[in-house]
Structures are given as structure tokens and as C-alpha cells.
Amino acid sequence: MSVERALESTGNWLDDRLHGARGVRVLLRKIFPDHWSFLLGEIILYSFIILLLTGTFLTFWFQPSMTDVIYHGSYVPLRGVRMSEAYASTLKISFDVRGGLLMRQIHHWAADLFMAGIFIHMIRIFFTGAYRKPREINWLIGIVLLTLGLVEGLFGYSLPDDLLSGAGLRITEGVLQSVPLVGSYLAFFLFGGPFPGNQIIGRMYIIHVLLIPGLLLALITAHLFLMFHQKHTQMPGKGRTNENVVGAPMYPYFMAKTGAFFFFVFAAVTIASTFVQINPIWLYGPYNPVAMSAGSQPDFYMGALEGSLRIMPAWQWVVFGHTFAFNVFVPALLPLGLVFGGAAVWPFLEQWITGDRREHHINDRPRNAPTRTAIGIAVITFYGVLWAEGANDLIADHLDIPLYWITWAARVGIFVAPAIAYILTKRICIGLQRKDNHLIEHGVETGVIRQLPGGEFIEETRPVDEERLAVLISRVAHPALPAGGTAEAEVPAPGMRGGLGRMRERMYRVITESAPMPSAHGNGHGDGHGDGQLAETNGHEGHGREPTSASATAPPAESRPGEGEH
């Protein structure tokens, strides 16, 4: 058998040198839980690989130079036009290198997919509470990755030095200039003098192809290592507890699935690049600081920043001969600073308010954390208003709405819409919890009406099936505040004293607002999850999520030697 021969030759050769048989075997049998939303992170990883490969290809021809040249290449409409070498070499890649246009478009589509993947992955992590202990570090790494990705994308699409991206650089310069005290120095140091100068493309180039990709690679490696080491979270279900991982082993199942998924990601990006034109820089023309086309839009991930600049009223102070350009630096820094900074602080804030120091390996259903879900939807709404405002001119044009109305609507909506979203989401979540409680306590309504001997009519119910019940009862109660941790208590517990303690108590009431926990139900499925879930105040073990019965496929624990302890 060829497998055996390969193991005997190559396998033994490697093992003689690396002592890998034990460790790699554990690796091969590592269990990966399955859920469609767990693929979102893989989209990002594979987009990144595509970006590295296609980006390397592009560097073979791209000239990161702002030296003026007169174009004589294949694109007839621009012949004889003065342009930078960067722009001319991008035209060359597009029209004179076979596969060059394809690689450029794949690179751009993959970058958009990379950023979209990060946003959606982050949203998934937030709503399922997968950032909770012990995964806070990975959450923070993720936020750094997102921020780096934004800069990497901005610098990347600015490299061709075309009219559209040049406008983006001009805006970058204006934003830098607005920073109090050091703004004009920042702008001059980045651009190597007055805008546009002849430095910026070369500087962005090396940051784009070396510095940030290096950081991304290191952080992605750390992100994956931590995910591997801490083991993936799993969705609630039958046989799944906070102390196990249920799924298919890495070899061959996860490897084959993820390989297929890599092919699909690559296929999706290639199909988009084949049929949907992206960033046709030859239509925009080379950059010059005098021209600008209407309807200019950045890539989607910069849209919120753009909208934030558009929404801001014209506020500015001139004090003691110095200008505070609130109209620029406030929208440039504040909204996204709040969103990203808030996201970074949130896991720790939530832990402090609830006092929940347990490990969480089973994902929350979003409805079971109404306040968190409501905050998440409110933030997405906030971001969405900015994003839509970033395209206000296109919306005005396509929907025939006066432009200023949209901006005024956004100025009001940026405060009102998140508040409405918060309230609505919370009510919906609590309503869904009540529905779940009803199912747990009374079972599924069958529609069969029966008359009792006494004349009373009742509707028959049947118990919820085990799979579904396991999901329904996955809700975990919040730990109670420390004893005496209320304002009424005569002697408040440590940590609950003073103004900070009272604030924590108030926030605790908000964050734990939920439908009541379901009472033990009487439909015959009461084994193992009756009282466990109601007594949740101690230790990391207390999840009240005993498996209803041992899964038939679950092997005994001792048959899994050495797992997880690498």
C-alpha cells in the first residue's frame, strides 16, 4: 500500500529528525466543530493568501515612482499624456502583461473580500459572545488586524496614482493637517514636503508590500495559534457541553472541507475578476491636483470615514492665532475611534459589570444576551448611517432626493437610529426568549384540540425533540452580583461601594435584562438540565448544560490521549 510506503520512507525520515509522530497524531485527530459561520474566518485567511500571491505578481512590473513620463503604451486614449511612472506601469500591467489585468482585479476583489470578511467575522464573534473569556486576546488581535487592513487597503488602492485614489490621498493630507499642534508636520513628514511631492507612492509602496503584510502575517499566525490552542467554540447542541468539543477530526475531514473552501473562495474572487470590472484606472486618468470627477467613491471599507466627514457641520475655532478644525479631525477620529475603541474595551467592561469570570466555550445565541445584541445592532446602525452618508451623492442621484436632505437626515439619524435599533432589538430578543421559555415549559403546540371529561378544551402539545431542546436550554444565567451588592444593602460588598459600585449595579441591571430563566419543564425531558441552569453563581464548571445523554458516537475520554496538551 502506497500510504504505508510513504509513511515508512518520508514519514520515518522526518520522524527520525523531528520526533513528530506523537504531536502530529494529536494534531491530525484535533476536533473542529462545524457551523457555517465558522467559515467566515477562513474567507479572510484565504483572501489573504490570494492577496500575497497576486500582490507578489504585481510587484514584478509595478514601478513605485512618481517621476513624470509621457505615456506611449498600448492604451491609445492616454498616449502622449504626462503621468507618473506608477500610473504608467499600472497601465502596462493592465494592457501589456498577459494575466496582468486578471491579477490586478483578483488582487482588488480579494482585498474587498478580505475586509468584508473581517467585518462579518467580527460581527459573528460579537453576537455569539465568542470573545468572552478565555478569548479576549484574540478579540483584541482581531481589532488590530481590522485597523491594519484599513490602512493596507487605503495605501494599496492609492498606489496606481490615478485620479480617483489621488483624491483619497488629498483627503488624507487634509485630515492630517487638521490635527491640532502637529498636523502640518505630520502631513509634511508623510508626503516628504508639500502635497503631492514625489515621495508618497514609494513610501506607501514599501509599507503596503512589506511592513503591514509582515505585521498581518505575524498577527494572523498568532490569531490562528490561539484559536488552535484554546480550541474553537461550538454552537449549543445535543451532547455539546462547555467541557467538550464535538465535531469531525482535522484529518481528513476538516482538511478536505477547508481545502474545498479555499477553492471556492479563489473561484468566487476569480469569477468576480473575470466578469466584473473593478478599479479601471485607465478610465480615471492619471492624478493631477486640479481635476476631480463627480460621484467619486472610495472602496467600501473607507465609506464610513467618508460619510463621517460629510455629515459633520462646519465647526471651527480660531483661538490665540491657532485653528481647531473640528470639522475635520473630529469626524476623522471620533466615530471610528468610538466603534473600534469600544469594541476593544467591551469584553472587559462586560466582565466587570456582570462579574462573569467563567470560561465560555459554547456560543451564546444572540437572543440570550439581549443587551449585548442590542448594542451590537445599534453600533452597526451607527456605522451604517455613516456608510450611507458616505454615498449620499449617489443616493441623491439615483433616488432623486435632494442631496442636503440626505445629509440632514443622517445628522439626525446618527443619534436617533441607533437608539431605535437598540430598543427594538432588545424587545425582539426578550420576546424570542419568552417564546423559547414557552417551548421548553409547555412543548410544541400540535393544533390538536381535545375536550376533557369536565368539558374543558385544551390543546395538545408534544415535547420538543432532543436536538432542538438542547439548543433551547443553552441559555446561561448571569452570576448574581456579590452578596449585598445592591444599593439597599446596609453594608455593600467590596467592589460595589461608592459611585463606581452604584454605576456598576445600574449597568448590571441593564445588561442582565432578560426574560426570566425557564422553569423546569414537565414534558418528560427533564433529565439533566432542570436545576443546573438556575444555579449558576459559582465556578467555571457551573454551566447547567449537562448533555442529555452521552452521544452515541462520543468515544470514552481515555481513548483521546494527550489531546490539547501540546
Cis peptide before 252 (omega within 30 of 0): yes
Chain Cα centroid distance, residue 245: 23
Q: Per DSSP, what are the bridge partners of residue 68?
A: 84
3-state class (DSSP) for residue 400: coil
Residues in 204-233 that interact with other proteins by CB under 8 A: 230-231
Residue 546 makes contact with other proteins by CB under 8 A:
no
Residue by residue, DSSP assigns 271-290 as HHHHHS----HHHH-B--TT
Task: Please count the other Cβ atoms lying within 10 Å of the Cβ belonging to residue 505.
Answer: 17
- State phi, psi for 173 to the nearest 5 degrees: -65, -45
The residue from 184, 221, 446, 519 that contacts other proteins (CB under 8 A) is 184
Angle at 419 between CA 418 and CA 423, to 5 degrees: 115
- Judged by beta carbon, residue 267 or residue 338, the one nearer other proteins is 267
Minimum distance from residue 168 beta carbon to other proteins (Å): 9
Minimum distance from residue 162 beta carbon to other proteins (Å): 14
Task: Please count the other Cβ atoms lying within 10 Å of the Cβ belonging to residue 428.
Answer: 16
Here's the x/- map for other proteins, 353-372, by CB under 8 A: it reads as ------x-x-----------
- Judged by beta carbon, residue 355 or residue 370, the one nearer other proteins is 355
Residue 566 makes contact with other proteins by CB under 8 A:
no
Minimum distance from residue 463 beta carbon to other proteins (Å): 24
Burial of 136 (0-12, 13-18, 19+ CB in 10 A): middle
The residue from 185, 225, 348, 405 that contacts other proteins (CB under 8 A) is 185
Q: Interface with other proteins by CB under 8 A: which range of 25-33, 367-375, 421-429, 518-526?
A: 25-33
* CA dist., res. 284 & res. 102, Å (int): 19
Of 564, 522, 524, 526, the residue nearest 544 (C-alpha): 526
Here's the x/- map for other proteins, 389-418, by CB under 8 A: it reads as ---xx---------xx--x-----------
How many residues touch other proteins under the rule CB under 8 A: the total is 133
Q: Interface with other proteins by CB under 8 A: which range of 171-179, 364-372, 510-518, 523-531?
A: 171-179
Residue 99 makes contact with other proteins by CB under 8 A:
yes
* CA dist., res. 375 & res. 4, Å (int): 55
Q: Interface with other proteins by CB under 8 A: which range of 196-204, 443-451, 468-476, 503-511?
A: 196-204
Q: Interface with other proteins by CB under 8 A: which range of 113-121, 282-290, 462-470, 514-522?
A: 282-290
Residue type for position 86 = A
- Judged by beta carbon, residue 156 or residue 547, the one nearer other proteins is 547
Of 552, 564, 544, 557, the residue nearest 241 (C-alpha): 544
* CA dist., res. 151 & res. 305, Å (int): 12
Residues in 413-452 that interact with other proteins by CB under 8 A: none
Residue 479 makes contact with other proteins by CB under 8 A:
no
The residue from 81, 116, 170, 505 that contacts other proteins (CB under 8 A) is 170
- State phi, psi for 69 to the nearest 5 degrees: -135, 160
The residue from 321, 499, 516, 524 that contacts other proteins (CB under 8 A) is 321
Residue 30 makes contact with other proteins by CB under 8 A:
yes
3-state secondary structure 301-314: HHHHHHHHHHHCCC
Minimum distance from residue 502 beta carbon to other proteins (Å): 32
Residue 313 makes contact with other proteins by CB under 8 A:
yes
The residue from 45, 246, 386, 472 that contacts other proteins (CB under 8 A) is 246
3-state class (DSSP) for residue 367: helix
Residue type for position 450 = R
Minimum distance from residue 426 beta carbon to other proteins (Å): 32
- Judged by beta carbon, residue 227 or residue 248, the one nearer other proteins is 248
Cell of 560: 483521546
